[in-house]
Structure formats: structure tokens, C-alpha cells
Amino acid sequence: MSVEIKVPTLGESITEATIGEWLKKPGEAVKADEPVASLETDKVSVEVPAPADGVMGAHAAQPGDTVAVGAVIGYLEAGGAAAAPATPAAAPAATPAAAAVADEPAGDLTLSPSVRRLVLEHGLDPTQIRGTGKDGRLTKEDVLAAAEAAKAKAPATPAAAPAVAAAAPAPAGARREERVRMSRLRQTIASRLKEAQNTAAMLTTFNDVDMTAVIEARARYKDLFEKKHGVRLGFMGFFVKAAVQALRDVPAVNASIEGDEIVYRDYVDVSVAVSAPNGLVVPVIRDAQEMSVATIEKTIGDFGKRAKDGTLKIDEMKGGTFTISNGGVFGSLLSTPIINPPQSAVLGLHRIEDRPVVRDGQIVVRPMMYLALSYDHRLIDGREAVTFLVALKNAIEDPTRLLIDL
């Protein structure tokens, strides 16, 4: 008896997805709720769980296919038969680690597609790897570290060298191309960014900020902060807190246009851009105006880990009234970020570098950062944009203002 594997409900307003990859091949044993396929939506990658125990049957859709919510993408056959056994000649040659992977003991674990791929590539037993992710989940870093440890313990194999050397070298001067289908996430990012350029009257204004006070505060309190709150004290906590305060002073920057109306909000939901395997994703810190710096740092840290593991939920990407994008972590000196509709503004942070500046008539060297605010000029005037950046700059250069609400 076959059980249909269907595309699960993906969240409000999401009606279809793209098959990313199959995590189970026909004939492989599957346990209930074990991921059998990954789907790409316009917001995030999600996994399709097996509806019951059984054996993976036929795939009704292939990687790259667009499928609607509720569509049948595969079948699960009843019974607990394992995958076809190895041939007698091959069985003795299988190493314990390879056999463990073939038998898929990871069915008791929840592995993201990228982690599962690494486990299989390196022939590791995931049950023997200690996970450092949330709830003990395995991360890519855990698998890579285990692979390096296994490589260091393995004896040298001189016989393998000639085989590598025998590989045919690429012809001199060869020019190659590779065509890779754009993921649904990348297609959506391209569409939304272009939509923002076509719809909003975008303008960017700049300022710079002296990071001396924040760097000194971080150096002074980082150990105590981590000991008390269990998370590192970074710069984003300061910037989110300062942005919330500046948005309260200039509410238009936190507003949006809907039809012929302007929607003003008494809350701040900050979208923060974080790196994921398939590109940037933008989870939302909700009600940031109610949070301490410690709570903000914990939330961002959790988003960052789960973005790498591919476990962010779709609902965590929705909404947002203002975006902060930190290109400085990649070394960016200056940029003009693009608004994330229907928001009306985005703040770009950049790298910190020592530059000569004038203080009290003297040229001194200070750690400086450029700030960029891109905004919809239909709603936000230049005066309001500059006022927002100056308020943010003042709060960062004198963090005491964040404590006494100035």
C-alpha cells in the first residue's frame, strides 16, 4: 500500500515551492517524520517529513520542479524493508562509518539538507558527532570538524596518489561555463529588489560614526556580559537599540505607504539580514522597542545559527518595519542598500577602519564607520532622513544616551 507524500502548508500567502533535492532515494528505509525532501520557497528552505514509517517509493517530482501546496511529490511504500543490501563482494569492503551512513542511522536525528550532504560526502556516522547547534543539532561546522579529525587519524594511503595523478588534466587555455538554475529564493530576491527600484522614489543619504565609545564599552564588559547572558556582546545590539530610539524620534522612517494612506506604527519590528547557504535571509526581531541589548543579541545569534542550519521558519521572515543590513562583516566600505518593500527605509552598516579625523582642532586617528540610509522619498523627506542618521550617530558615539533615553 502506497502513502502519498504531499507538499505541506508553507505559510500564509505561499502557494507553491520548488523541489530543492530528494534526501531519500527509492528503496531506502524511512521513519515517520524523517525529512525525505527539501523545498525552496521565496523566503526559506523547508523540509518535507515522511508521513509514516516505510520504504521510499517513486519520486513524482524532480529537483527544480515547481509544485503547489498539497501536490503529491512522491510515494512511501508500506513495510520496513531496508534498502537493497550490498553485493557480497562489496560488503566486506565497507568501512564501519560508511555502513552506518548507508543504513541511515540519522533517521533519529534532524539534519538539514546541507548537513546531510556533508555527512554523506565524508562517509561519517552522524550519531557519533557531537552537535553544537540548538537542541544539540548538527551544524556544517560540526561535520567539517569531524571530517578533519577523521582525516588526521586515518593512515596514509600511498596507493591512492597515482590514481589522483592519473586524472586527465584540463586542456591549457580551456574556457568553461556552468549553468545553474536560480533558486526560488534568489529569483524572489531579484524580483523584489527590482520592484523596489521601480516603485519607490529611492534616495540614499550618508553619515559616519566614531565607534570609539562602543568599542571601549564592548571591550570593558564583554566577559561579564557573556558570563551573565550566555551570548557575546556584539555591535548589532547597540545599533538596533539606537535605531529603535531614532525611529521613535522620526516615525516616518518606520512607516509605510499603503495605497493613498501612510501607516504609522508604535512598534518596531527590525529585519536583520543574515547569511544562509543559499543567500541572505531577513528574519525579524519583533517588538525590538521592548528588548534589552542582551535580548537583541540572543535573538540575532539564534537567527544566525538557524539560518546556517536551514531551520528558520517562514513566519520568522514575515513583516518587519525597518531593515538593518551589515555589509561590514564582509569588508564593505560603502554601499547604497535597496529598500525591502513595503518598508520605507533600510540602514546599511559598513566596516570599521581607522581614519584621521579632527577633534578639538587636532587631527587624531579614530575607528570610523560609514552609515547609509536608503529611503522612499515619497514618504520620507531629506530632513527626516538626516535627522534619523544624526540621532543614530549621537547614540552610538555616546551610548549613555541609550540608557537615559536622549
> For the segment 160-183, what is each residue's pLDDT rounded down to a tens digit?
444 445 556 667 778 888 887 777
| Domain end point (choices 67, 84, 101) | 84
Query: Is the predicted pLDDT of residue 108 greater than 50, yes or no?
Result: no
C-alpha cell at 198: 521601480
The active-site residue, picked from 33, 208, 302, 381, is 381
Q: How confident is the model at residue 2 (pLDDT cuts 50, 70, 90)?
A: confident
| Domain end point (choices 50, 84, 118) | 84
CATH number reported for the structural domain that contains residue 19 in this entry = 2.40.50.100
Q: How confident is the model at residue 319 (pLDDT cuts 50, 70, 90)?
A: confident
287 belongs to the catalytic site = no
pLDDT for the residue numbered 44: 67
pLDDT for the residue numbered 127: 75
- Domain contains 181: no
Which range among 63-67, 148-152, 252-256, 383-387 shows the weakest confidence by mean pLDDT? Answer: 148-152
377 belongs to the catalytic site = yes
| Domain end point (choices 84, 101, 127) | 84
- Domain contains 12: yes
Q: How confident is the model at residue 255 (pLDDT cuts 50, 70, 90)?
A: very high
- Domain contains 116: no
The active-site residue, picked from 249, 315, 377, 398, is 377
pLDDT for the residue numbered 78: 78
Residue 370: domain span: 201-404
Total domain count for the chain? 2
What span, in angstroms and rounded, lies between the C-alpha atoms of 319 and 310?
Answer: 19
- Domain contains 297: yes
- State the chain's mean pLDDT as an integer: 81
- Domain contains 151: no
My answer on whether 223 and 79 are in the same domain is no
Highest mean pLDDT out of 66-70, 193-197, 285-289: 285-289
pLDDT for the residue numbered 189: 72
CATH number reported for the structural domain that contains residue 262 in this entry = 3.30.559.10
